[in-house]
Amino acid sequence: MIVSVNINGVDRSADVEPRLLLSDFIRHHVELTGTHVGCEHGVCGACTVLVDGRAVRSCLMFAVQADSCEVTTVEGLAGEGGEADLHPLQEAFREKHGLQCGFCTPGMLMTLVPFLEENPSPTEREVREAISGNLCRCTGYENIVRAVMHRVEQGLTGEARAHG
Amino acid sequence: MADSLIGQGIRRVEDPVLLTGRGLFVDDVHRPGMLHAHFLRSDFAHGIIGSIDASAARAHPGVVAVYTADDLGDYWAKGPLLVPPPPIEGLVFNEATAGPLARGKVRHVGEPLAMVIAESRYVAEDAAAHIVVDVEPLPAVVDIERSLDPEAPLIHEELGTNLAARVGQSKGDYAAAAGGAHLVVKRRFTYDRGVSGAMENRGIVADWDPVSEKLTVWDTTQAPIPIRNGLARLLGLMESQVRVVAPFIGGGFGPKIMMFYPEEVLVPWIAMKLGRPVKWIEDRQESFFSTTQERGQVHEAELAVDAEGRILGVRDVFIHDTGAYDPYGLTVPINAQCTLLGPYEVPSYESEFTVVFTNKTTVTPVRGAGRQHGVFVMERLLDFAAAELGIDRVEIRRRNYVPAGSFPFNHKVLFQDFADLVYDSGDYLPALDRAVEMIGYEDFVKGGQAAARAEGRHLGMGVVSYVEGTGIGPYEGARVTVEPSGIVRVATGVGTQGQGHFTTFAQLVGDVLGVGVDRIRVTTGDTGEFNWGTGTFASRGIVVAGNACWEAARMVRAKVLALASKRWGVAESELELVDGSVRVAGDPGRSMELGRLAVEANPLRGAVTPGMEPGLEATAYFGPASGATASGVHAMIVEVDPDTAMVEILKYVVVHDCGEVVNPVIVEGQIHGGVAHGIGNAFYEQLVYDDDGQLLNASFMDYLIPTATDVPSIETAHVVTPSPLNPLGVKGVGEAGSIPTGAAFAQAVQDALGSGAPDVCEIPLSPNRLWEIMEVAARSGARPGHAEGGAS
Amino acid sequence: MKPAPFEYVVARSVEETLAGLAEHADDVKVLAGGQSLIPAMNFRLAQPAVLVDVNGVDELDFVRVEGGELRIGAVTRQRTVERSEEVRRLAPLLHEAIPSIAHPQIRNRGTVGGSLVHADPSAELPSVMVALGARMRIRGPAGERWVAADDFFVGLLETAVGSDELLLEVAVPEAAAGAGHAFLELQRRHGDYAMAGVAAAVALDGSGRCAGARIALLSVGDGPVLAAGAAGVLTGETPSAELFAAAARAAAHDDIDPPGDIQASAPYRRHLVEVLVRRALTLAFQRADASGARA
Ligand SMILES: Cc1cc2nc3c(=O)[nH]c(=O)nc-3n(C[C@H](O)[C@H](O)[C@H](O)COP(=O)(O)OP(=O)(O)OC[C@H]3O[C@@H](n4cnc5c(N)ncnc54)[C@H](O)[C@@H]3O)c2cc1C
Ligand code: FES
Ligand code: FES
């Protein structure tokens, strides 16, 4: 089946089997490997991407279901300058040491970006609940929460610069 | 001289690439023509393999090859014994390691039976379903206390027993101590199994280039150099023909250092055989069966004290579950045995452990590596002794600490590095005082707890101490090179799994050379970059490799000074290294960028006289004589809902001594992660096996890794006693957070349950288990949450 | 953990869906949000030969009020229901329960119909629908019918919806004056399936007595369990702590025969039900009182 998906503003199409998971399509067909896979059963949240602006588990969608959709992955968060032009939330993670191995980080960011758009001044409890579907084994979540609260205190929730 | 980089919480240099999704992890490696491996694994915990018929799988479209043990020919061999047992008198050790694919027998669920190589992982999984395996099931050995029963089936017939090891260590005369004691408390403790739960599963990609005759392997290993060496040996290649790259690793926590996993043995071999790159990525389900696990001990322990609560001696007899094989020797139980002694003076100690085989996944070190078991036993015994003597639980610890002036302190038992357990340094009281202050101990015991109880809230507090041997040898190395561009390259052999080595090593080198961390490129885990080393384990990265980096940088600095002093005809003492340049202090005219000096240090331009080494480069190695001793105190307040047995952690503080701190932000982060892991171990995570050896919760749905709503905010503070064993004075920190958490949690819950509640002597707890404990209390007439804390 | 191959059919309407189901009758499944079906396929526990994807069936994506009922299309995302003003106003019990389902990323895909037809005994929506006395509209080759929630859930992961049928919508009666509600559950971790839970809808009559109660329990049976015994204890009585305790006892000891699993043993579940029912009734009657039955 031909699937055409707009990923981070670029149209991508490929002939794929219907069973191909969206996560595998993004990672291995489009070779955008920032989206990570930690469980393939919907629990860890590492594979979270935005489909038409909403955070979803890309391991629980078939690529063919994303046909004609707009998908935003972690690669679509920073501005043109890439590493020199981080999204404010990425900056906050860096500032507050919100990542260690970095494996859960893309999923955390893609969960938090739409959350903060909807709720620009959450409490710490709300932040913890917002990421409770994203597992991290390294940080104990402490510095992730601090990063988000830091971002919130700055008062700029900043939407994804490129898309969604 | 600019401010020292050491001790600053500077932002990590590796973050931008990770934050933008551009960090390379093993599963991100794509090679042209790459094939995919999938392993068919045993559904049975124990059984005799009759036949394996792979013909239908071989004929499946898209399948390139299928291998069973029989198809491996001479390549089939048992894995090595990684850690031979230490020279302890009377020690018994029975070795059993696994082959790459099961032959004759299966000994745990998930043991690999066949490898399918196909054009895609999807197809490989389809084909595996067509392999017909005939296994005659045998009864499984699951309960570790029944493994040695005469009627228990033998897991390794050739050994004639399920005993893997028996080790006794003692000092002093415990029997006499107990005989003369005012009180002997005696309890039975259990600590069950868990997984490391790194978010990234294991994986390996192997690519053989027939033109250059070189093999490149990307591996989620914590020990790339030993893997390189081992693969060269197995495959009959020169070490220089094999390059092992451990790129970014999504968490390790111990099991990623296991050498060799079957997949690591097979995937490179098959890639060479087929002449095509091959990738294998473990999925989460198989990781529950095939990645090594930890825990599973039962202790019968007793503590003898005098009337003032001073420790006279400890006796501990325990069983340790090594699973189906024991490639890691005795590391985990010896850690438990030694770490039990903690920060305390224990005049007599009698400890014996028995290691047994079971039909479960093999056990190797996982974050803490058995230390938490020892700490749990000792801390709980002290709690019970304090309660019986009517001594405050903080006070009993205070009374027993090794005094500040007595370091190095020799416990006179043998540690996992085969040397006496000697604490190099420490000062325990200040940490305890600080923790007690931060958690609000006085207010809590003098009224806070009772006031909450009056409002119907059941609060409890836990305060525990621990000591952790870290940074053991043998050695690591590092090479520091100033490139003509002025960029400083640092190469070391350790792998890294998120501990921030890129940054801390850059800080150490930058500090010596006067170069900002943004001008330093650290490579770790690539055998193409550095040839010697052992790996990241036992919280040793910063201690061992960090000191090597620092030493190599100092050697480069000496070269810089020698060259510059010659060039300008000034004494070395007049020179300084600042902002990437060397200059004569107070003379802006005489300054040169290190990059330019590096160019001048090239013999073609005549600046190097015979006898000197060219370039601004140096390699150094560091191997500490013994381990540096980190220590600390954890304290927490919990609230137990007496109706539902749900527990919430309200406050958590850690006061930690990891010696000199290179980057406090990174250290703090390591502690947070460890605490979360420890909380998981204490209340959420438990591998549940049924009587047939089937794991009942092999998914993240059912095996509960704590989430952001389960882990409290964690406050940390440091006390610093520098380690005299290494020039930087550092100690390891990677495991510290998780070691005492279970003990602190149990004490706090016990305190919340109040007097009359049964003793909490097990980890992990769960709401269900806690409710059962509370039921016993209720039936015995005691009400949970009685304001006199049971453990205080 | 990759799914087995299947044939994929995209349906744009109820008609197309039913045609697809009929055509592949022997081994076909509706694919809605996929949040239960795809994990099962990734584990290869489910290997349907054909999937009919209903995500594009827009006619089943709605929340509207019609004839004194709140109607929710089967393909409506759980997240849409969570945010719906009508749901908050007219079915506060449903509004209260929805955030307990998994996590936002899952509710962004998961549908109301998928949760109801999947009928996990630990799922929130089935119990809520039973407590609210909802009814479900089902269409199949033999035509269309309405089934009351009490008859909809027939066994473990089994509903009245046949393999060639489609759930179209669920209709929830508007909460009446004097009604009170409460949803409570206990999860190991935030977002997990509950160890036990209760959805309670109660009503007071003009004299302040309990006019009726529907208490549905989750995670204690093959599907949602209606606690009829507990309701019997309450009806006609004046609310009091003692009454709630008696009803809770009836729920825990007469109405259920809970299973045990690795998270919660049968006795613990029973105990939790007693605690939760007591707490839920206390809250529900407080709210009923506040909503002004006596006025
Ligand atoms: C990590 C995780 C945690 C979760 N936690 C919870 C939780 O706490 N509580 C909870 O309730 N759920 C939970 N879920 C499940 C989630 O709510 C699902 O969305 C829901 O159970 C199924 O809805 P779906 O739309 O995704 O259906 P699908 O997965 O697409 O389908 C489920 C089943 O229903 C059938 N079906 C779907 N729609 C129809 C229809 N209209 N007519 C006929 N048949 C249909 C399908 O054929 C399939 O058999 C969790 C899921 C995950 C991955
Ligand atoms: S990989 Fe998708 S949730 Fe874990
Ligand atoms: S940073 Fe490693 S899993 Fe989160």
Average pLDDT over residues C258-268: 96
- Per-residue pLDDT of B168-185, as tens digits, reads 999 999 999 999 999 999
CATH for the stretch A82-154: 1.10.150.120
Taking the CA of residue C206 and the nearest CA in chain A, the distance in Å comes to: 40
CB of residue C40 inside a 6 A radius of ligand 1: no
Whole-number Å distance between alpha carbons of B559 and B598:
10
Rounded CA-CA distance C149/C112 in Å is 14
* B385/B395 Cα distance (integer angstroms): 12
What distance in Å separates the CA atoms of residue B531 and residue B239, rounded to the nearest whole number?
9
CB B191 within 8 A of CB B295: yes
**Cα–Cα distance, A73 to B17 (Å, whole number):** 15
Which pLDDT score is estimated for C294?
44
Phi, psi of B421 (to 5 degrees): -75, 100
Tokens, residue B744 = 């602190």
Burial class (CB in 10 A: 0-12, 13-18, 19+), B73: exposed
State how far the alpha carbon of B460 is from the alpha carbons of B346, B379, B717, C11, C212, in Å. Answer: 28, 16, 22, 57, 41
Is residue B387 scored above 80 in pLDDT?
A: yes
Model confidence pLDDT, tens digit, residues B549-605 = 999 999 999 999 999 999 899 999 999 999 999 999 988 889 999 999 998 887 665
Pairing of strands B163-171, B488-492: unpaired
In 3-state terms chain A splits into helix, strand, coil percentages (rounded to 5) of 40, 15, 45
Comparing CA positions, the residue from B132, B130, B292, B124 lying closest to residue B202 is B292
Shortest distance, CA B27 to any CA of chain A (angstroms): 8
Size of interface A-B (CB pairs under 8 A): 191
Does residue C170 line the site of ligand 1, with CB under 6 A?
no
Chains that touch B (3 or more CB pairs under 8 A): A, C
Q: Taking CB atoms and an 8 Å limit, are A60 and C3 in contact across chains?
A: no
Contacts of A76 (CB under 8 A, 6+ apart): A7, A8, A9, A160, A162, A163, A164
Question: B331: CA distance to ligand 3 center in Å?
Answer: 26
SS3 B226: helix
User: Rounded to whole angstroms, how far apart are CA atoms B396 and B557?
Assistant: 50
| Cβ pair B208, B267 in contact under 8 A | no
For the packed helices B501-513 and B546-568, what is the interaxial angle rounded to 10 degrees? 30
Residue B473: per-residue pLDDT: 63
Cβ separation C8–A62 shorter than 8 A: yes
Rounded Cα gap, residues B417 and B537, in angstroms: 13
Tokens found for residue B6: 């050491």
A36 φ, ψ to 5°?
Answer: -105, 160
Give the closest of C262, C268, C271 to B697, CB-based: C262
CA of B350 from ligand 1 middle (Å) equals 56
Residue A14 main-chain phi, psi, to 5 deg: -160, 160
Q: Within its chain, how far is the Cα of B75 from the centroid?
A: 31
pLDDT value at residue B731: 87
Q: Report CA-CA distances (Å) from C94 to B159, C122, C226.
A: 62, 15, 16
Cβ–Cβ under 8 Å, residues B718 and B756? no
Residue B695 pLDDT more than 70?
A: yes
> Residue B1's pLDDT is what?
40
Q: pLDDT at residue A47 above 90?
A: yes
Task: State the pTM of this model.
Answer: 0.96
**Nearest in space to B194 (alpha carbons), one of B677, B669, B648:** B677
Give the whole-angstrom CA distance, residue C30 versus residue B121.
Answer: 26
- List A residues 129-148 in contact with B (Cβ-Cβ < 8 A): 129, 131-145
Question: Within 10 A of A23 (CB to CB), how many other CB atoms are there?
Answer: 22
Sequence-ordered list of residues with C-beta below 8 angstroms from that of C94, at least 6 positions apart, any chain = C81, C87, C125, C128, C132, C172
On the question of pLDDT at C142 being above 70, the answer is yes
Question: What does the alpha-carbon distance between residue B726 and residue C101 come to, in Å, rounded to a whole number?
Answer: 53
- Please compute Rg for chain A using Cα positions: 15
CB-CB contact of B349 with B279 (8 Å) = no
Rounded-to-10 torsion of CA B269, B274, B279, B285: -80
Q: What is the CA radius of gyration of chain B?
A: 28
Q: Which CATH code for domain A2-76?
A: 3.10.20.30
pLDDT at B608 over 70: no
In 3D space, the residue among B137, B135, B138 whose CA is nearest the CA of residue B103 turns out to be: B135
Q: What distance in angstroms lies between residue A111's CA and the mean position of ligand 3's atoms?
A: 15
Alpha carbon separation from C5 to A17, A33, A62 (Å, rounded): 8, 24, 12
Asked whether the beta carbons of residue B766 and residue C263 sit closer than 8 angstroms, the reply is: yes
Chains touching chain C through at least 3 C-beta pairs below 8 angstroms are A, B
**Domain ranges (residues) in chain A:** 2-76, 82-154
Write out chain B residues lying below 8 Å of C188, CB-based: 684, 704, 766-767
Instruction: Give which of A103, A125, A131, A149 to mutate to test B binding, by max B Cβ within 10 Å.
Output: A103
State the Cα–Cα distance between residues B368 and B258, nearest whole angstrom.
Answer: 15
Task: Write down the H helix ranges in C84-217.
Answer: 85-90, 92-97, 104-107, 112-118, 124-132, 149-152
Domains of chain B and any CATH numbers = 15-21+473-622 (3.30.365.10), 31-138+200-250+256-290 (3.90.1170.50), 297-472+626-779 (3.30.365.10)
Residue closest by Cα to atom 3 of ligand 3: A136
Q: Are B708 and A127 a contacting pair at CB < 8 A?
A: yes
Region A12-32: mean pLDDT is 97
Query: Taking phi first (over 0 means left), then psi (-120 to 50 degrees means alpha), and beta for anything else, what does residue B455 get?
Result: alpha
Neighbour tally for A9: CB within 10 Å: 11
Ligand 1 pocket, mutate which of C8, C27, C37, C43 (most atoms under 8 A from CB): C37
The pLDDT of C281-287, averaged and rounded, is: 97
Q: Are C197 and C219 in contact (CB under 8 A)?
A: yes
Classify residue C200 as exposed, middle or buried by CB count within 10 Å of its CB (0-12, 13-18, 19+): buried
Q: Please name the residue of chain B whose CA is at the shortest distance from the CA of residue C279.
A: B643
Question: Where are the extended beta strands (E) located within chain C?
Answer: 7-10, 28-31, 50-53, 63-66, 69-73, 135-140, 143-148, 153-155, 158-159, 166-173, 179-187, 194-204, 210-218, 225-226
- In the three-class reduction of DSSP (H, G, I as helix; E, B as strand; rest coil), residue B82 is classed as coil
Query: How far, in Å, CA of B43 to CA of B591, rounded?
Result: 70
d(CA B489, CA B482): 6
Distance from CA of B341 to the nearest CA of A (A): 28
pLDDT interval class at A156 (50, 70, 90): low
Ligand 2 centroid–CA B708 distance in Å is 16
Task: Write the residue in C43, C44, C263 that is nearest to B768 by C-beta.
Answer: C263
Return the residue matching tokens 């621990």. Answer: B466
CA–CA separation, C207 vs C294, rounded Å? 7
Quick one: angle between helices A142-154 and A105-118, nearest 10? 40
- The letter for the amino acid at A119 is N
The mean per-residue pLDDT over the stretch A70-94 comes to 93
Cα(A51)–Cα(C54) distance, integer angstroms: 17
**Diameter of chain B measured on Cα atoms:** 91
Residue C256 has pLDDT above 80, yes or no: yes
Partners of B214 in the beta sheet?
B209
Does B714 contact A at CB distance below 8 Å?
Answer: yes
Judging contacts by C-beta atoms under 8 Å, the chain A residues touching residue B23 are 102
- Does B711 sit within 8 Å of A142, measured CB to CB? yes
Please report, rounded to a whole number, the percentage of residues in chain B having pLDDT higher than 70.
95
The tens digit of pLDDT for each residue in B327-340 reads 999 999 999 999 99
Dist CA A45 CA A57 (whole Å): 6
Report, as an integer, the average pLDDT of C69-88.
97
pLDDT digit string, tens, across residues B761-786: 999 999 999 999 988 877 776 544 43
Q: Which residues of B touch A134 (CB under 8 A)?
A: 707-708
Copy the structure tokens of residue B623.
């191997």
Helix, coil or strand: residue B677? helix
Residue B792: predicted pLDDT: 33
For residue range A91-134, what is the model confidence (pLDDT) as tens digits? Answer: 999 999 999 999 999 999 999 999 999 999 999 999 999 999 99
pLDDT band with cut points at 50, 70 and 90 for residue B540: low
Contacts of C191 in chain B (CB under 8 A): 707
* Angstrom distance (rounded) from CA A24 to CA A35: 9
Cα-only R_g, chain C: 19
Give, to the nearest 10 degrees, the angle between helix B741-753 and helix B664-679: 50
Q: What mean pLDDT do residues B639-664 have? A: 94
pLDDT value of residue B779: 77
Give the number of other Cβ atoms within 10 Å of residue B531's Cβ. 16
Residues of B in contact with A109 (CB under 8 A): 19
Is pLDDT larger for residue B3 or for residue B355? B355
Task: Verify whether the Cβ–Cβ distance C38 to A42 is below 8 Å.
Answer: yes
Ligand 3: atom nearest CA of B498 is: 2
> Mean pLDDT, to the nearest integer, of B353-375?
94
Cβ-based neighbours of B588, under 8 Å, separated by 6 or more? none
B83, pLDDT greater than 90: no
Please determine, for residue B613, whether its predicted confidence score (pLDDT) is greater than 80: no
**Closest Cα of chain B to C106: distance in Å?**
14
pLDDT of residue B785: 41
pLDDT at C176 over 90: no
Q: Could you report the predicted ipTM of this complex, rounded to two decimals?
A: 0.95
Q: Say if residue A161's pLDDT is above 70.
A: no
Distance B611 CA to ligand 2 centre (A): 59
Residue A55 has pLDDT above 60, yes or no: yes
CB contact under 8 A, C1 and A40: yes
The percentage of chain A sitting over the pLDDT mark of 90, rounded to a whole number, equals 90
Instruction: Give B170: exposed, middle or buried? Use CB within 10 Å, 0-12, 13-18, 19+.
Output: middle
Separation of CA B721 and ligand 1 centre (Å): 55
CB under 8 Å to A103, separation ≥6 — which residues? A36, A38, A46, A138, B25, B198, B199, B200, B248, B250, B251, B498
Q: Is C44 on the interface with B (CB under 8 A)?
A: yes
Tell whether C4 lies on the interface with A, counting CB pairs under 8 A.
Answer: yes
Q: Using an 8 Å Cβ cutoff, are C60 and C91 in contact?
A: no
Tokens of B257: 């250092």
- Taking only the tens place, the pLDDT of each residue in B29-75 is 999 999 999 999 999 999 999 999 999 999 999 999 999 999 999 99
Three-state DSSP string of B348-395: EEEEEEEEEECCCCCECCCCCCCHHHHHHHHHHHHHHHHHHHCCCHHH
